[in-house]
Amino acid sequence: MYAVDTEDRWAKAELRRFSKSGGMTPTLVGVLCAVLLTASYLRGHGNVHKLGHAVNKVVNPQEAKLVVANVGPGGQDPIRLTRSATSIGKDVEFLSATLLPGRGMNVFQITAMVPGHGEVALLESPAVETAAGQMNGQGDDAHGELSMRMGGALLMPWVGRQTGNAADATAGLVNVAWNGELLHFPALAAGAPALAAGAPGLAAGAPGLAAGSLTSVDGLFLDSKSTDVRSDVMPDGQYAQAVFHPAFGAPWPSTVDATVTVELSAHTLDVTISARNTGKVAAPVAIGWHPMFAIPSGDRGGALLKMPSSTVLAMNRETGLPTGRTAGTAGSSLDFSRGGGTRLGSQDVDAVYTQLKATGDQLQPVAELRDPAYNLAVQVIPMSTNIGYMHVIAPADRRWVSIEPNTSAPDAFGAEWRPQESGVTMLQPGASMQWKVRISVAAIISGDDRVQ
């Protein structure tokens, strides 16, 4: 006992001498700087999401389990961008975005703080572990097609399903003559689901494709794996960037690399795709997105939709394919141009809106999905001028609405279009194109056409 007391008194005396010598403050500052430098190093080398995992394991074990899957979809761990709420629950603001670099940077989930409801999921998607088990590249997931049924799949080098003549198909490919050359599209697996399961295709109520027709998958980017991922903090959130070298060269005329950047802040989430032709010949390229926005309250009939257009593509009722012409929506069930939005009610919606226009003091055309029961408005804003189409898919029996901001029309390589009319870009070797879309969230001002 005497020895222990002596050692304790000696230790305290040494601590007092060290403190009086003036060495304690510099030492503590040095330790703090070392911690900050370590955090900065990790963030600067693409490890923001790993830091987030470590914190979430302590604060919210359920959330941590979601994002720290041993192997995520496509064999790469998900990225989770996060930010802390700054309005103390008084304002609608983004909290997180979960991305799948192993599946073409699918924007798998977005969450927001909604006053009175806490953290709310804005996209229709299962747990990451569930998705990892389903996204196996087999059966319905051939070429990554299951990405079209969860979260928000990014689409390249074409948008939507392409239709061809079954008689011209070879080895699982839909072959289509376009602009003087033969293009090859991987065929959709037999029996794959269409509109009701969330994959765009036929117009609502259309009896089906013409006999002898064959349909392709929704692009070659759905199952692409990233070769490089970087992430870092922003003043009010985080961002991530992933580079892809997808194998477009096999069925496609040339290789096209893509860089996807996602930026999360309080009220905006920006998604940018930069595509570059890295091959030796020109290649047709279209870019789009298939986000499945949830209706959090579950009141699908009471949800309101607003579109920045009063024109849609005319569809062939027998085949469900575009005719190459447009039609006005005034007086029809597809008119969602009212300033305050129009209730979805019980109708199916599968329409491609064209001639997008900004209104009022807006600089870009804005599509909006409102959930009055949650006092929540989600806006889809094309930030690049090459986005000329918005494909809306809203099955009456589902509690989600997809608003696709696309650079091209569906079936863009079909005979109903002349090459310069469908929105497809002929990307020359070494040339690049950019697609950018902003998602914003806000509360609805009661009795007003605006959101705060």
Q: What are 429-450's pLDDT values in tens digits?
A: 999 999 999 999 999 876 554 4
DSSP, collapsed to helix, strand or coil, labels residue 429 as coil
Are 29 and 152 within one domain? Answer: no
Are 31 and 52 within one domain? Answer: no
Give the whole-angstrom CA distance, residue 400 versus residue 297.
11
Q: Is the omega angle on the peptide bond into residue 382 within 30 degrees of 0, that is, cis?
A: no
Are 215 and 276 within one domain? Answer: yes
Q: Judge whether 450 lies within some domain.
A: no
pLDDT score at 193: 54
Are 17 and 53 within one domain? Answer: no
Are 347 and 385 within one domain? Answer: yes
User: What mean pLDDT, rounded, does the chain reach?
Assistant: 83
CA 86 vs. chain centroid, Å, equals 24
How many domains does the chain contain in total?
A: 2
Are 211 and 110 within one domain? Answer: yes
Give the whole-angstrom CA distance, residue 117 versus residue 108.
21
Are 10 and 102 within one domain? Answer: no
Which residues contact residue 92 at a Cβ distance below 8 angstroms, ignoring those fewer than 6 apart?
A: 112, 113, 114, 115, 267, 376, 441, 442, 443
CA 63 vs. chain centroid, Å, equals 20
pLDDT in tens, 201-240: 333 333 345 556 789 999 999 999 999 999 999 999 999 9
CATH number at residue 363: 2.70.98.10
Name the pTM for this structure. 0.82
- Examine the pLDDT at 318 and tell me if it is beyond 50: yes
pLDDT score at 277: 97
Q: Judge whether 202 lies within some domain.
A: yes
Q: Judge whether 241 lies within some domain.
A: yes
329: tokens are 């929506």
Q: Judge whether 451 lies within some domain.
A: no
152: tokens are 């928000």
Range of the domain at 19: 2-44
Are 90 and 6 within one domain? Answer: no
Q: Judge whether 452 lies within some domain.
A: no
Are 38 and 161 within one domain? Answer: no
Q: Judge whether 448 lies within some domain.
A: no
User: By C-alpha distance, which of 337, 366, 103 is closest to 219?
Assistant: 103
User: By C-alpha distance, which of 215, 325, 220 is closest to 283?
Assistant: 220
User: Strands 283-285 and 268-277: what pairing?
Assistant: unpaired
Q: What is the average pLDDT across 17-32? A: 49
Q: Measuring CA to CA, how many Å separate 258 from each of 144, 207, 245, 277, 413?
A: 17, 37, 7, 9, 22
pLDDT in tens, 149-183: 999 999 999 999 999 888 788 888 999 999 888 99
